[in-house]
Structure 1
Amino acid sequence: MTRESQILDDDQAISDLALRVGEALEQREWMLATAESCTGGWVGQAVTTVAGSSDWYERGFITYSNKSKCEMLGVQQSTLDQFGSVSPQAAQEMAIGALHRSHAQISVSITGIAGPDGGTATKPVGMVCFAWVSKDGPVQQQTHYFTGDRETIRHSAVTTALQGILDLLDNAIAVA
């Protein structure tokens, strides 16, 4: 398989996930908010490629800098000082902030190190922290250590974020 055909397959996988997210949100009559750092708005871009997404995508926050995480999402400076911007704690505060600073009923956050630089021994390139939260449930968190180049890591993060939304919605529907 050529690199070009792999990219097309990957793009189709993201499109398929985004469509499924939209269908699940419409079924529940919920809106989604996103809080993205290392993915730079890619999740928002993916969901807005779906026709009619304005019915279920409320808004996105692209908070690449620490200052924007604090100003736009209410991430505490003390969290960033103690744990760093790439941490489960920062991801949790980002997801909660996106939910509270929007009209959405569910949110996802992504913060990580996509590379090629910026990694450390304790936080290597490929480390990405996620959080998902809905209006009626606890925060769900995951940390992944993806491999590959910057584009591959970011792609993996987008896929994981979308799948996590579906998983959270499936659990919310099962509980309801």
Structure 2
Amino acid sequence: MEVSEAIIHDLVVKVAEALTADGKMLVTAESCTGGLIGASCTELAGSSAWFFGGVMSYANEAKVRGLGVSEQTLATHGAVSEETVVQMCAGALALGGDIAVAVSGVAGPGGGSKEKPVGCVYIGWQHKGQPAQVERCLFSGDRKGIRDATVIRALEGVLSL
């Protein structure tokens, strides 16, 4: 098992323990990670006790149809933005669960810009009934490294809620 996989596994175990102790369910809305957060969570046996499910919304149309992200938000701010991630959190919570985590970013190697370079990722967390918290991250490395770093930070954020 490589280092990032071990770190992710350890974080998932901690998230599982925390959510189970609180009787909470996690729901995900993922773009740049392509479902890796949900896949990491479901690697752990018994995850159905604390993991509700998620939406892998890679295309903008999937964000609109699957999560209710506004086309206006996407046109004005782009998919990689705080505004989009806030709406992704809300859309995920509308499906079910108690705590949402949403991610959208530029995993590379192409697709970056001056304002949103490769490695720019917005991560949002939201408890049902509370406002979302969003963090803009700048990760370095190759595509796999950026995606793994995003999963790690997303899970760390769940633990800090």
Task: Please report the TM-score for the alignment, with normalisation by the length of structure 1.
Answer: 0.90
Aligned-residue offset at 1:136: 3.8
Aligned partner of residue 143 in structure 1, secondary structure: strand
1:83 equivalenced with 2:77 (yes/no): yes
Partner of 1:66: 60
Query: 5 Å matches for 1:96-115?
Result: 96-100=90-94, 102-115=95-108
Aligned-residue offset at 1:50: 1.0
Partner of 2:18: 24
Number of aligned residue pairs: give it.
161
From the CA coordinates, give the structure whose radius of gyration is larger: 1
- Give the Cα–Cα distance (whole angstroms) in 2 for the partners of residues 71 and 112 of structure 1: 19
- Give the Cα–Cα distance (whole angstroms) in 2 for the partners of residues 122 and 9 of structure 1: 30
1:51 equivalenced with 2:34 (yes/no): no
Aligned-residue offset at 1:61: 0.3
- Give the Cα–Cα distance (whole angstroms) in 2 for the partners of residues 43 and 37 of structure 1: 10
Q: Read off the aligned partner of 2:88 and give its amino acid letter.
A: M
Deviating beyond 6 angstroms after TM superposition, the runs of 4 or more aligned structure 1 residues are: none
Partner of 2:110: 117
- Give the Cα–Cα distance (whole angstroms) in 1 for the partners of residues 35 and 85 of structure 2: 15
Query: 5 Å matches for 1:36-47?
Result: 36-47=30-41
Partner of 2:137: 144
Q: Read off the aligned partner of 1:36 and give its amino acid letter.
A: E
CA RMSD, aligned part only? Answer: 0.8
Partner of 1:10: 4
Task: Please report the TM-score for the alignment, with normalisation by the length of structure 2.
Answer: 0.98
1:134 equivalenced with 2:127 (yes/no): yes
- Give the Cα–Cα distance (whole angstroms) in 2 for the partners of residues 10 and 155 of structure 1: 7
Partner of 2:152: 159
